[in-house]
Structure 1
Amino acid sequence: LAPRSSNGIAARFGRAAPVLRLYHGLPLARFPAPPPDVATGPARDGRDRAQPVRLVSVGRLVDKKGYDILLRALALLPHDCHWQLTHIGAGPLAGQLRDQAGELGLADRIDWRGACDQAGVLAALRASDLFVLACRVSADGDRDGIPNVLMEAQSQKLACVATRISAIPELIREGETGILVAPEDAAALAQAMGQLIASPDRRAAMGDAARARIEMDFAIHHCIAPLLPRFGLAPPQPVGEKTVKYAAGPRGSGAVAD
């Protein structure tokens, strides 16, 4: 559980027992840092039509992901701001959102790729300049906690523009690894995207800080370490970018790299 989630549970049911608060973490063996030539990339700033800033978003096409808000925000960007959006994901709102993009005059700027495997997601992240996600709380109360795609994007040194809901502020540090805006606010989302589209140096600094934060606080071996002793398992020992297994304390010797 993230702190905001555990606080909500405690407020509803009381604190009869301590709550162990853990993030789900990211397996960095599957999301190594991008190669230097990818991480540095060209300094696109949206002024050159031939070199549009590459935006990317990954998420199901459902209400809580707020893609209708993202499309409205993109339509608010200045006409001389050149960008392209790659979206990865499928869902019941696909047709509706494609229609909305067409009505807003954005159809030729968006590449709807549908569902992709992990290799496809990783390649898209590494080919992009900025990650955007406009999560909201749906009418039925459905919401994200910390979307895993935000961790994945930050692991690839991407600055993120996202919304200030649920536990997202526990991952994205405002002004350091990304920019957060209120949900449902297309104008604020457009302003935040516009700032980072025009600032490749700021994006790069945020991306470096984002990767460092993922390695420090959200690597899976850090996140599960407090949990393992409760199951009689030895603490994890990270072994570079290799796969790590965990053996029971009394019978095994801890982490074993494949």
Structure 2
Amino acid sequence: MANSTSGDSVLARVERILAAFGSDTPVLQLRDIARSARLPTSTAHRLVADMKQIGWIEPTGGQGYRVGTRLWELASRAALAEDLASVAIPFMSDVHAVLRQHVHVGVVEGDDVLFAERILGKKSDVPLRSNVAGRLPLHQSAAGLVLLSQYPESFVREYCERVRDSSFPEGIPAERLMSDLRRFAQRGYALQRGRIDEGTGGISVPVRVPQAHRPVALGVVMALEDMAAAEVPGIVQTLRVASHGISRALGAL
């Protein structure tokens, strides 16, 4: 695709426009799109007009825009996320029925865990940051940690060098993280307490997948008071039963 005077391709500029929309900013005005995408207003206006014409962006009335249903239609055809979500939902429902907590399933996507599906615990007051098609850095959530524990130490060291986290101004402590990951790998599940939201934690187990499939994790998010040491084995066992079912449905067993 043709480059702009700044060297950006049209595709790169379109991607920045789409990335401006999120769970906290589902509707944006043109000036907000231009600012977030680092584009001149005239360029943003032209690209938004083209994207609106093909259904990638829709007007909301007034001056607002949101991501269009055509883009959702195309994205929903992504085989990995679609297949994983459709396979996992029945087993996630079983976990939810037993534990009454938030349940999610995610897959490795670069340095992040990409969440393919989630079920909200209707009676839970705990915030859930794992939006469907949303991402979190691997080291932050229990799902990400159990995924990261499946990689060699060389990958973890490189990950700690390239990923930035404001909670660790001097860099993610690689030795401490690797120590945690070795423990998670040995016992077959990961715990995260208070790393994302105070008073909230998560427990996650790996899902066995076919050889060509990226690593997958199944987990729950709950209040720390529900994660007492005596409760953890029962939670883990519930997740493992569901994980086994997902693995079987994926053809990994």
Q: 1 or 2, which has the higher helix percentage?
A: 2
Above 0.5 in TM-score?
Answer: no
TM-score, normalised by the number of residues in structure 2: 0.28
Give the number of the structure with larger relative contact order, counting CA–CA contacts within 8 Å between residues 6 or more apart: 1
